[in-house]
Amino acid sequence: MSALDTQHCIPRRPHAWAAWLALSQLAVAIVWWRLGWPWGLPALLLSHALFLVPVFLPRATFYGPVLARLPTAERAAWLTIDDGPSDDTPAILDVLERHGARATFFLVGARAQARPHLVAEILRRGHGIGNHSHTHPQSRFWALGPRAMGREIAHAQQALAQIAGAPPRWFRSVVGMTNPFVSASLRRHGLVRVAWCARGYDAVDADPGKVLRRIGRGLRPGAIVLLHEGAPHGRSVEIVEATLRLLQREGYATVAPP
């Protein structure tokens, strides 16, 4: 696969949404003034939904560009593993080595600081790392304000750069949620937001068969596959290995962009 030019995925206009917000509320005010509340109230609710719904859609580009699939026609997949480093990391690295596979680990900054040797081992074995926030605030990431969001991304970037010797290039939002304040920090740090097109909900589902069926439905050339490590059910290593076997059966090579 040729080198990927993902520069276009770094946000160029991180505040463009603000102009759309102002225009939409002006339109609502005009509708309410001319047609009254029976039309104005639905217009107001619809305008708010247009800005709220993209927050919860991992591949939505309303608040900034996102890479959800590699631009290739080859049967290649980008394996991405979230939420580490964890107790599972060494075993997952062994599994990847047995299968001759490459992956990118999207790491939580605070967890990386606690286990820098695992970050170093990921890199030593030829895999990539990405920024997955500093504290992984799963229940409230979507609602973080500009300062809190900036700290989550910046602190993780700093922690990972200190351990790895170079800053990550990739960012994955927590639970895939992306609010209006993510893109400004991504632009500041030169980060590309990465989503996925194949996922198995392996962070919550301990049944490898169900996980693989979901991943299989999303497989296509250039697929970005989402997996996790350290899941509470304790079967993350098994699921990673089962996914690698699935990719091999389907004739997919694993690639990890630089």
DSSP for 84-132 reads ES-TTHHHHHHHHHHTT--EEEEE-HHHHHH-HHHHHHHHHTT-EEEE-
pLDDT more than 90, % of the chain: 95
Judgement on whether residues 87 and 121 belong to the same structural domain of the protein: yes
What is the average pLDDT across 107-123? 98
Query: Which pLDDT score is estimated for 9?
Result: 87
In this model, does residue 12 exceed pLDDT 70?
yes
Give the burial class of 114: count Cβ atoms within 10 A of its Cβ; 0-12 exposed, 13-18 middle, 19 or more buried: exposed
In this model, does residue 5 exceed pLDDT 70?
no
In a domain, 71, yes or no: no
In a domain, 62, yes or no: no
In this model, does residue 1 exceed pLDDT 90?
no
Active centre residues (catalytic): 82, 228
Statement: the pTM of the whole predicted model exceeds 0.85: yes
Judgement on whether residues 130 and 237 belong to the same structural domain of the protein: yes
What is the average pLDDT across 92-114? 98
pLDDT digits (tens, 9 = 90+) for 223-239: 999 999 999 999 999 99
**What's the mean pLDDT when you consider all of the chain?**
95
Q: Helices marked H in the chain — which ranges? A: 16-35, 37-52, 89-98, 109-114, 116-124, 146-164, 182-189, 208-218, 236-249
Helix (H, G, I), strand (E, B) or coil at 133: coil
Beta-carbon contacts of residue 171 (< 8 Å; ≥ 6 apart): 130, 131, 132, 153, 186, 189, 191, 192, 193, 194
In a domain, 64, yes or no: no
What confidence tier does 6 reach under pLDDT thresholds 50, 70, 90? Answer: low
In a domain, 65, yes or no: no
The span from the CA of 58 to the CA of 55, in Å, is 8
β-partners of residue 79 are 103, 225
Among 244, 255, 236, smallest CA distance to 99 is for: 244
What confidence tier does 258 reach under pLDDT thresholds 50, 70, 90? Answer: confident
What is the average pLDDT across 22-32? 94
Domain enclosing residue 112, as ranges: 76-254
pLDDT digits (tens, 9 = 90+) for 37-90: 999 999 999 999 999 999 999 999 999 999 999 999 999 999 999 999 999 999
In this model, does residue 4 exceed pLDDT 90?
no
Report how many domains make up the chain.
2
Among 186, 205, 184, smallest CA distance to 133 is for: 186
Judgement on whether residues 98 and 149 belong to the same structural domain of the protein: yes
Judgement on whether residues 18 and 96 belong to the same structural domain of the protein: no
